[in-house]
Amino acid sequence: MTEYGFVGAVDEERIETWLDGVNVPLIGFVDMLVPDTMFCEIKTKAPRKTKLLKDGTQGWAKATLPKAPEKAHVAQAAIYHHALQVTPSICYVTDHDAVMFTPFNCDELKADALADAVEDMRQKALIRQNLLRVSTDPKVLASFTDPDWSHMYQWKIESEYLEKAKKLWKL
């Protein structure tokens, strides 16, 4: 990371920021921060298991690096940028390589795109806030919401909690 200018960086720096109309702050921890200059979110990409062969063996495929940052990671960087007002970056790392995205090589991290991502996050927060005004009863809230079972991260939870969620939405 020093070759990218992260000299004297602090790790896991807590941030807190407010969005217009949202009654609670957004809190996070920036992976690496050079105060008043730049921050970096570091994302790891792990190798994947290959298909099971006829002889029963299985291997590992090298992890691949993305050509652009993932939308969820851009949203996270946008919130940190909103809080810190410093240059954002996202670094994806595998066991064999790395790629760094910054506003200088990636449109998704330019000011306009970050502002759009913050607004998307604000809209989601307002929807959740408004739902909680209707009720704090999980059954009532479940009747107003779509669990989006296909979401790539949201339902990667312990089986005990996943079963409770499915029961809540009666699936």
Please indicate, yes or no, whether residues 32 and 114 belong to a single structural domain of this protein.
yes
pLDDT of residue 50: 86
Please tell me whether residue 34 adopts helix, strand or coil conformation.
strand
DSSP E strands: which ranges in 19-122? Answer: 26-34, 38-44, 48-49, 60-61, 90-93, 98-101
- Residues in the chain where the model's pLDDT stays below 50: none
pLDDT of residue 171: 57
Tell me, what amino acid is at 36? D
pLDDT of residue 20: 97
Please indicate, yes or no, whether residues 69 and 146 belong to a single structural domain of this protein.
no
Please indicate, yes or no, whether residues 129 and 152 belong to a single structural domain of this protein.
no
pTM value is 0.83
Please indicate, yes or no, whether residues 69 and 105 belong to a single structural domain of this protein.
yes
Please indicate, yes or no, whether residues 24 and 94 belong to a single structural domain of this protein.
yes
CB 32 within 8 A of CB 6: yes
Please indicate, yes or no, whether residues 123 and 165 belong to a single structural domain of this protein.
no
Please indicate, yes or no, whether residues 110 and 155 belong to a single structural domain of this protein.
no
pLDDT of residue 133: 92
Distances (CA, A) of 156 to 98, 153, 160, 163: 25, 6, 11, 12
pLDDT in tens, 21-65: 999 999 999 999 999 999 999 999 998 888 888 888 888 888 999
- Domain count along the chain: 2
pLDDT of residue 145: 85
Question: Which residues, at least 6 apart from 154, have a Cβ–Cβ distance to it below 8 Å?
Answer: 148
Please indicate, yes or no, whether residues 21 and 94 belong to a single structural domain of this protein.
yes
Q: Which domain holds residue 164?
A: 136-171
